[in-house]
Amino acid sequence: MAQQNYAADSITIRKIYDNALTSYESYDNLRYLTKKIGNRLSGSPQAAAAVEWSRQVMDKMGLDRVYLQEVMVPHWVRGEKEIGRVTNSRAGAADMNIAALGGSVGTGAKGISAQVVEVKSFEELEKLGKKKVQGKIVFFNRPFDNTHLNTMQAYGGAVDQRGGGPVAAAKLGAVGVLVRSMANEVQEVPHTGSTRYQEGVAKIPAAAISTKHANQLSDLLQDDPQLNFYLRMTCETLPDVLSYNVIGELKGTEKPEEIIVVGGHLDSWDLGEGAHDDGTGCMQSIDVLRMFKELNIKPKRTVRAVLFMNEENGLRGGLKYAELAKKNNEKHIAAIESDAGGFTPRGFGIDGTAAQFAKAKSWHNLLTPYGLHDLNRDGGGADIGPLKGQGTVALIGFRPDSQRYFDYHHTEIDVFENVNRREMQLGSASMAALVYLLAEYGF
C-alpha cells in the first residue's frame, strides 16, 4: 500500500471511529427496535413491524436504494408458558424452568408425565437402546466445555443435542426430550433455540431446561432414577407467512457491479427482546451506511446492508438472498455478518482464498490500533453462508469478545439494558473500517 494511501486511509478510519463513539443514533435505533417493537420471531406481527420500521429508517437516510425482498417464512408460536415439574422424587415435587425449543410440537393441553433417562451423548443414548428409552423422557445433559477460551467453540461442542436430540430419542421410542440449555454459566433462565424433526420419525415435544435446574434434575436422578417429570407445552406451527429481507445500499462510484454486503438477522426468538441476538448486528449494519453518508465517504464499490429474516428457525432469508443473487448474476466480493452480540470488537474471521486473507492481513496496521488483533481463516456466518461458491466471495464474520454472549443468547434476559453503547458502537466502527478498505481496494 502506498504511503500516501496509508496516511489517507488512517485518517478516514480515525474519522469513522470518532463518529461512531460520539453517536447515539444506532443505540437509539436499537432502543426503539427492542422496546417499541420487541421480540421478532419470524411470522409474528412484531417481525412484520420490524421490517416496515427498518425500511423507513434506511429510507430517511437518503441511500441510493432501499427495497424489500420477499421470502416465505415459518410461523411457530410458543403458546402458554411452559410447565416443567418433577412430580414424585424422594425429595418431593420441584418446579423446573423450561422453554419449548423452536419448532417443537406441543404436548397437548393435559401435558405428559414420564420417567426420565439422562444421557450426555448420542452414543450413550444408543447404548441404552429401545428397551430403556421407550416411553420415557430423554434428558440430554452435556454441558459446555468451559476450557475453550472462545465460547463459540464450547457452543459448537454441545448444540448438536438441541438440534438432533428429538429425532435420536424418538427413534428409540421416547415420548419427550429435555435439553440442557446452551450456556456457560449456571443460570435459572432457560435458553431456547431451534430443533428439527425428520420425515418418518415421530415428532416428540422438546424443551430446554435451565442449567441450574439441569444440575438439580441430574442430582435428583442420582438419588431416585424412577422419578417422573411432568411436561406441558402448547406450542404449534401455523402456515407459512410472507415476510421480507430489508436492504439498503450505496452504489459504488467506480466498480458498482462489485458488491460488499454487511448484515445481521432482523428476526429473533420470542423470549426477551433480541437485543444482542441480533438487534445489535442489524443496527450496526445500518450504521455503516449512516457513517459513510455523514462522513461523505463515497465507496468505489457498492455497499449493501442486508437485514435477513428467519435466521433463527429456518435461514430462509439468507437462502433467498443467495438464490436471487445467483439468478441476477450479481458479483459479491465480500459479505460481513455481525451475529455474535454487541460486545467489544476483537477482529474478523475470513473464509476466503489465500490471496484474500493476505490482503486483509496487509491492513493489520490500520486495524490493530482499534483493538482488532484477531484475524483468522475461521470466518463466515449463517445468513451469508449460502453465498459460498458464488464466484470468489469472501465470507467474513465480525468477532466481538465472546465471553458474555451465552449469558443472554436465546433468553428472556437478552434485552436492551444488557447492551453497552460504546461496545456496540465500536462494533459499528470496526465493520465500517473494514467495509471502507474493501470498497477502496477490493479483494
Among the candidates 202, 234, 266, a domain finishes at: 234
Residues 316 and 436 in one domain: yes
Mean pLDDT calculated for residue range 54-66: 98
Average pLDDT, the chain: 97
Q: How far is the C-alpha of 94 from the C-alpha of 102, rounded, in Å? A: 25
Mean pLDDT along residues 412-434: 98
Residue range(s) defining the domain that contains residue 298: 3-76+239-441
Look up residue 91 and give its amino acid: A
Residue ending a domain, among 201, 234, 267, is 234
Mean pLDDT, range 30-48, rounded to an integer: 98
* pLDDT tens-place string over residues 123-169: 999 999 999 999 999 999 999 999 999 999 999 999 999 999 999 99
For the chain, the domain total comes to: 2
Do 267 and 312 lie in one domain? The reply is yes
pLDDT of residue 105: 98
Say if residue 194 is in the same domain as residue 299: no
CATH number of the structural domain spanning residue 203: 3.50.30.30
Q: Which residues contact residue 441 at a Cβ distance below 8 angstroms, ignoring those fewer than 6 apart?
A: 1, 359
- Please report which confidence band the pLDDT of residue 2 belongs to, taking 50, 70 and 90 as the band edges: very low
- pTM higher than the cut 0.85: yes
The reply to whether 94 and 190 lie within a common domain is: yes
In terms of domains, do 304 and 226 share one? no
Residues 227 and 365 placed together within one structural domain of the fold: no
Give pLDDT tens digits for 316-354.
Answer: 999 999 999 999 999 999 999 999 999 999 999 999 999
Domain match, 381 and 270 both: yes
pLDDT tens digits along 173-221:
999 999 999 999 999 999 999 999 999 999 999 999 999 999 999 999 9
Q: pLDDT band at 254, cuts 50/70/90?
A: very high
If asked whether residues 284 and 419 sit together in one domain, one would say yes
Interval 424-438 mean pLDDT: 98
Q: Give the CATH number, domain containing residue 338.
A: 3.40.630.10
Whether 3 shows a pLDDT value over 70: the answer reads no
Q: Is the predicted pLDDT of residue 1 greater than 80, yes or no? A: no
Residue-level pLDDT at 4: 59
pLDDT over 90 for what percent of the chain?
Answer: 97
CB of 438 closer than 8 Å to CB of 334:
yes
**Residues 272 and 230 placed together within one structural domain of the fold:** no
Place of cell 418433577: 86
Both 353 and 392 in one domain: the answer is yes
What do you get for the CA distance between the two ends of the chain, in Å?
14
The model's pLDDT over 294-316, given as tens digits with 9 standing for 90+, comes to: 999 999 999 999 999 999 999 99
Bigger pLDDT: 2 vs 53: 53
Question: Do 49 and 90 share a structural domain?
Answer: no
Report, as residue numbers or ranges, the catalytic residues: 311
Which of 223, 212, 237, 233 lies closest to 137 in space, CA to CA?
233
What local confidence, expressed as pLDDT, does residue 93 receive?
Answer: 87
Same domain for 114 and 138:
yes
Domain boundary among 189, 218, 234: 234
* Cβ proximity of 396 and 314 under 8 Å: no
Specify the pLDDT at position 19.
Answer: 98
Is the distance from CB of 68 to CB of 38 less than 8 angstroms? no
Place of cell 437485514: 307
